Structure 1
Amino acid sequence: MSAEPLPYRYDAILLVGFGGPEGQDDVIPFLRNVTRGRGISEARLETVATHYRAVGGVSPVNAQNRALRAALEAELAARGVNLPVYWGNRNWEPYLPGEVAAAVLDGHTRLLALTTSAYSSYSSCRQYREDLAEALPTGIGGVQLDAVRPYFDHPGFVAPFIEGVREALARFTRRGICVADTHVLFTTHSIPIADAVRSGLPDRDLGPGGAYEAQHLAVAAVVMAALPVADPDAQWPPAPAWSLAFQSRSGPPDMPWLEPDVNDAIERLAAAGTRAVVVVPLGFISDHMEVVWDLDTEAAATAHRVGIEFLRVPTPGVHPAFVSGLVDLLLERLAPGPASPRAALTALGPWPDACAAGCCAKGAAGGRPRQH
């Protein structure tokens, strides 16, 4: 006699993305969506549009989210979880409200959202939760829409970066560049300092960059500490040098954003005698435009210009450890009964499920659109 299916707290999964254009005709409308209400000029939109036009007007993020959705469905099925996975975006088709409406039309009223952003700040966490609230269908009661916690220090998110840094250092070693002459440069999207200082809980002082910067520094430290343990026979020095830099700054010149910029950091490393740099896009889950343009194109060109060797570590994408970790996060909330153990690799986590009042409040407005 077959067992009764496990009664989950939710009856559908919602993958929530940023969105991106699918062709040249989509580029400017997409950028207008991203910057709506921020007073960004058409001239500035055209500047950003050149990055998309250089790759045919197609953002890689949509194909990556399709692949992630399929990988999540497969992993859920392998664990015996028979729940549908919907996918909706903030700024382009398939739009989030439409996907929520489709799920409700299919009879699902308890949705658990998984956002494609791991850290705490207004744009990377709270704004997605505001989007979810706005996506609830009007005139239909009883629809529940919650989100998993920020997962910056979940083992499944961190493991691919550890693997990538190890491989990059090994590649440089095979080229005759020793670890002592290599710098590991972690990067993430810069945000206005006004947003950074408001990131995280308002009563928790995590330094001048708020929770956003503190989370990245904590995860970077975990990655670096894991390198010798992962390969005890490797000839490591006590620790490769590393630091955190920021990329994709887009605000007006008079608006302070988190620094140093990744290109400035590479120039300084070269001037100090560093022979090679391993760039680790720690703030991103997939190789979207801000990785393939701002790092693979612009930062790589900077490294070439100043005569420093350059390797960029892959983002988690659909790495098996990452996909498995995301399903672990979903199961924290899906399974009935007492709360499941919550994995976290830093002293900052596990982060709470819900945003407290004042958490990740919005600072001053402005800036260039993000690219995905």
Structure 2
Amino acid sequence: MPEQHTTTPYDALLLLSFGGPEGPDDVVPFLANVTRGRGIPEERLKEVGKHYFLFGGVSPINEQNRALLEALRKDFAEHGVDLPVYWGNRNWAPYLTDTLREMAADGRRRIAVLATSAYASYSGCRQYRENLADALATLTAEGIEPPRVDKLRHYFNHPGFLRPMTESVIASLADLPEDVRAGAHLAFTTHSVPTAAADTSGPVEDHGDGGAYVAQHLDAARVIVDAVREETGVEHPWQLVYQSRSGAPHIPWLEPDICDHLETLHAQGVPAVVMAPIGFVSDHMEVLYDLDTEATAKAAELGLPVRRSATVGADPRFAAAVRDLLLERAAAERGESVERCALGALGAGHDLCPVGCCPARAPRPAAAGADSPYA
């Protein structure tokens, strides 16, 4: 029998993700959910949805979350963590509000939340907290006593997140032709966001010059680069680059874009590139289209050998990292001394998002923060 670990005060874990369509008929309604309030016409949504239609209208994210859900349950069972794991999405079934309603009906009163976004940003943290607040308000309006929710800290520098990606980068390098392998460039990719949003990401003291969003990605990339050098004996040049821009062209976003970066590297005579999507937890649509389809096609056009390394997905080490984060937070909530696991220079992040952390475009209630109405 595995050693039993107490998770008090938590009586459930919620896996909170973005959601995605699971068939052609789902694509436009899904995108309408994602863009609600922006007044985007249906014809434009169909154009935006072309990426999904290329893959039969199915995003892989829901299946990947099902795999992660099973990995978490398996890890918990094998390591004496007796805690149910639920799953809810922001933009598609199973919807967050429905899942919280189910959890309340099951008697869950204190819930730890793992968001499938490892870094600080409005869209990757604060917006999830706003969605939680909206769902809790809906339950309250229905006469249901809402549970308390606590979002687990950012895990961009946890070994269980970085180690699988490091090994994948090494495997991608090994898959390159031998004559270009040593000179390969590492392009670490993440979702581009407006520079204004990046600059205000993280706590107030981290604001400016890309904020916590850029700093955290750079820290994670350096850890991987150092580990690759230690294991291969080769110092590979690298850069943090961006993908999946979706905003108005007149608004400044983080650059360079991965396709522009590939053109620059080719012009500089770089012999090969490994694209490492460190900003993503799983190989969902933005990875499959923006990297595996669009960027790979650009590389082929240039005659530039490229490989794309894998994300952590449902790797058992990531599931173990989630267990670690859960037990760490539970111990902290009980007032116990906690040793927090983190690699790199930035250290472990905060448990409770402070006031001014990743501020909203317009003031909205957000759960699981110092300014939350649901403490």
Distance (whole Å) between structure 1 residues aligned to residue 282 and residue 98 of structure 2: 24
Amino acid at match of 1:192: P
Residue 74 of structure 1 corresponds to 74
Give 1:167 deviation, angstroms. 1.2
**Matched residues in 1 for 2:194 and 2:361: separation?**
8
SS across alignment from 1:70 = helix
Q: Displacement, 1:4? A: 9.3
Deviations 1:66-93 (A, max 9, x none): 0100100010111111111110000000
Equivalent positions of 1:173-322 (< 5 A) are 174-179=177-182, 181-205=183-207, 207-229=208-230, 231=231, 234=232, 236-237=233-234, 239-322=235-318
Aligned-pair CA distance for 1:337 = 5.1
Aligned mates of 1:151, 1:4 — CA distance in 2: 24
**Hey, what's the Cα distance between the residues in 2 that align with 1:131 and 1:346?**
31
The counterpart of 2:167, out of the listed 163, 179, 186, is 163
Q: 1:363 to 1:262 in 2, by over 3 A?
A: farther
Aligned 8 A contact 1:303 1:309 in 2: yes
Q: Which amino acid aligns with 1:351?
A: G
Separation in 1, partners of 2:76, 2:335: 19
**Partner of 1:347 in structure 2?**
345
Amino acid at match of 2:212: A
User: Could you tell me how far apart the structure 2 residues matched to 1:5 and 1:275 are?
Assistant: 50
After the TM superposition, which parts of structure 1 deviate over 4 Å for at least 4 consecutive aligned residues?
A: none
Q: Give the secondary structure class of the aligned counterpart of 1:45.
A: helix
Aligned to 2:372: none
The SS at the match of 1:177 is helix
Q: What secondary structure is seen at the aligned counterpart in 1 of 2:255?
A: coil
Cα separation, 2, equivalents of 1:43 and 1:339? 55
The residue number in structure 1 matching 2:46 is 46
* 1:303-329: CA deviation from partner (whole Å, max 9, x where unpaired): 001110010000000112111111111
Give the number of equivalent residue pairs.
354
Output the amino acid matched with 1:177: V
3-state secondary structure, aligned to 1:98: helix
SS at match of 1:203: helix
Counterpart Cα distance in 1 of 2:267 and 2:337: 51
8 Å contact 1:9–1:333 — kept in the other structure? no
How far 1:5 moved relative to its partner? 8.0
Instruction: Name whichever of 328-337 and 161-170 sits farther off.
Output: 328-337
Using the alignment, how far apart are the partners of 2:160 and 2:358 within structure 1?
Answer: 24
Q: In the alignment, does 2:139 pair up with 1:141? A: no
Shift of 1:7: 6.0
Alignment CA distance shift 1:337-1:60 (3 Å) = same
How far 1:204 sits from its partner (Å)?
Answer: 2.7
Amino acid at match of 2:344: T
Provide, for residues 238-287 of structure 1, a one-character-per-residue CA deviation record: whole Å limited to 9, x for no partner. Answer: x1100011000111110100000000000000010011100000100000
Structure-1-length-normalised TM-score? 0.91
C-alpha separation between the residues in 2 aligned to 1:264 and 1:55?
25
Q: CA RMSD in A?
A: 1.7
Q: Identify the match of residue 338 of structure 1 among 336, 339, 349.
A: 336
Residue 142 of structure 1, CA deviation: 6.2
Give the TM-score taking structure 2 as reference length.
Answer: 0.91
Alpha carbons 2:28, 2:46 under 8 Å: kept: yes
Counterpart of 2:323 (choices 319, 323, 327) is 327
CA separation in 2, counterparts of 1:327 and 1:6? 11
Unpaired runs of at least 5, structure 1: 365-372
Q: Percent identity at matched positions? A: 52
- The reply on whether 1:357 has 2:359 as its aligned counterpart is no
TM-superposition CA deviations, 1:184-205 (whole Å, max 9, x none): 0000000011111110111235
